[in-house]
Amino acid sequence: MIKYERDGGGVVTLTLDDPGQSANTMNATYVAAMTAAVDRLEAEREQVTGVIVTSAKKTFFAGGDLPTMARATKEDAPALFELLSTIKRDFRRLETYGRPVVAAINGAALGGGLEVALACHHRIALDAPGTRLGFPEVTLGLLPGAGGVTRTVRMLGLAPALTVWLLSGRRLRPAEARDHGLVDEIVSTPAALIQRARAWIVANPSAAQPWDREGYRMPGGTPSSPQLAAQLPAFPATLRQQLKGASLPAPEKILATAVEGAQVDFATAQVIETRNLITLLTGRIAKNLIGALFFDMRAVNGGLARPEAEVAPARKVAVLGAGMMGAGIALACAKAGLEVVVKDVTGELAARAAQHERITTTADVADLAGCDVVIEAVFEDPALKQAVFAEVAPVLAPGALLASNTSTLPITGLATGVERPESFVGMHFFSPVGKMPLLEIVVGERTGDEAVARAFDLGRRIGKTPIVVNDGRGFFTSRVIGTFIDEAIGMLAEGVPAAAIEHAALQAGYPTGPLALADEVSLSLVQRIRRQTAAATGPAFVATPSHGLVDAMVDEHDRPGRAAGRGFYVYEDGKRTTLWPELAALVTAEGRAVPFPDLKDRFLFAEAVDARRCLDEGVLRTAEDGNVGSILGIGYPAWTGGVLRFAEQHADFRGRALALAARYGSRFEPA
């Protein structure tokens, strides 16, 4: 695991290289190897002039051993304490070794990997495309527990350590990491990495960590210093504001660990850090997050739902429609190295998408000759979509993949207008394309496996996480997020104050309030989708109080959403300000006293019950797709581990769902 080499000048290079994995992690193999390496360093102290820690992998060090962490129970707490104490003891032995120790960071150093580097006296990073440094633990419901909190706070001070590194979960490029204090130097080649490390060792024979030097003072002061003491009360208030009122244990524990650890000696701070990490590790929320964002994500990206079909990679992509969505799709494809042609009805519209040298824009269908993929991103009208496919079909490469970016229209119906329905698939991107990581691939009744495989491979190539779902109105994501919005507007129609609705969703962990989200989506689109659904469903369609409220907003008060500058919210210069004061006057129902916990659960359960129906009906092919899709695509609270895992891990999902059904309607009845 750790190759030990001492050269003629006494410099020892410790090369991390786990023989059983493609990346180094803080597993049992590592722990034993690091103890052995430090033992040998101490035995050979008189022959050693310095130490370089580097990696033989493409990455420096990937972090903690998540499979082991995910299995941790409260009964494992003593063993976990011993394990973490061993890791920290070896780091402490390394940094107090009495010889200069340099981290030669040749790739990504995240979580535990950055903690390895922080136990060295000097950090030099390779400025390569994949090099990122950071503490993503907070996004997995954890904290950096191998000295990360303790060392970062002592190196930078409380406020910078918390805001830039520990609470943000950011993954910084080498230059950013240098600017924010955890990287000392940047080099451009692997050879220069080792050369600079050796040069620094020669120049700094008496290196020590700042907190081990005489006269050390924590940057910005300790919590007992008057200036910082005056600022401390704002820390939890700011955190609560950032969390939008949601109560999440990881950021709260990180804040507590940092502040408490800054008031005591280094060894005691390490113990505080260990205990708080074990509390998180053995809790439910960390398991939910690791389950979704590590295991489910790995399965989805690894092709769990991809058909086993051999297909050629995409070469040239045509994008039909140069609106915001079409331009975003084109840019994503171009950045991945694909040749892209964007077509719109006029050259002026098409030119909006020309943001990259690999993109050609046109109004002439002949310019799409030879494209082996076409992605349609025009207005949500079935006749228009079928017309644009019919127009371009004659010039495309033989067997070209035909994809529609529709968010709600059934793919099977759209495919009736093309000559090769087996090559027709839905590729539902999310806006803005450049930021949203999810791609929902929709399989129609006649879509072939090769088309699905080609769409999946294209999605992975452009950096998306592709879930594969079967056809149905709204598919999975649009259908389930529709229940979230409909539940909120239904609450409003019941007489629940709009502010309470928004706060309940935020405190449940949703990133955006549902009424604000409805404005973003546009109430006119919500209305149009509902009318299309009603027409397709016929007499079986059930109207709800929310429908009348949406109609009143759009048809009577001309408040269709954010794009128009007026919706549930008031907008000034395009920015959301306050809820529309006249909302309460629209509600004819008498105000209903709904317990605040019920408001939160109505959102969580409405989506969870419908997602389970999607699985039962075959719209969802796998639970993993549902969990990942709900978090990445529609903002289901990540702490749940995904919309289906929420139901699985709830102490009494069925009982609570039936209680909600009795109070608020049969839509909450579980399958």
Catalytic position from the list 95, 115, 487, 607: 115
Tell me if residue 260 is catalytic. no
Three-class SS state of 330: helix
Helix (H, G, I), strand (E, B) or coil at 472: coil
252 is catalytic: no
Q: 333-356: buried (b, 16+ CB within 10 Å) or exposed (e) per residue?
A: bbebebbbbbbbeeeebbbbbbee
Spatial contact of 124 and 224, defined as CB atoms under 8 Å apart: no
Torsion angles phi and psi, residue 431, rounded to 5? -100, 140
Give the total residue count for the chain. Answer: 671
Cα(622)–Cα(626) distance, integer angstroms: 7
**Phi, psi angles (nearest 5°) of residue 171:** -115, 105
DSSP codes joined into one string, 138-160: GGGT---TTTHHHHHHHHH-HHH
Do residues 513 and 245 touch, judged by C-beta distance below 8 A?
A: no
What whole-number distance in Å separates Cα of residue 530 and Cα of residue 663?
A: 25
Q: Which two tokens stand for residue 638?
A: 């990540």
- 476 CB-near residues (< 8 Å, 6+ apart): 440, 467, 469, 611, 614, 619, 620, 625, 626, 629
**Choice among 137, 185, 376, 440 that is catalytic:** 137
User: Which pair of tokens denotes residue 73?
Assistant: 């129970």
In whole angstroms, how far apart are CA 365 and each of 311, 398, 420, 662?
Answer: 26, 16, 19, 57
Catalytic residue numbers?
Answer: 115, 137
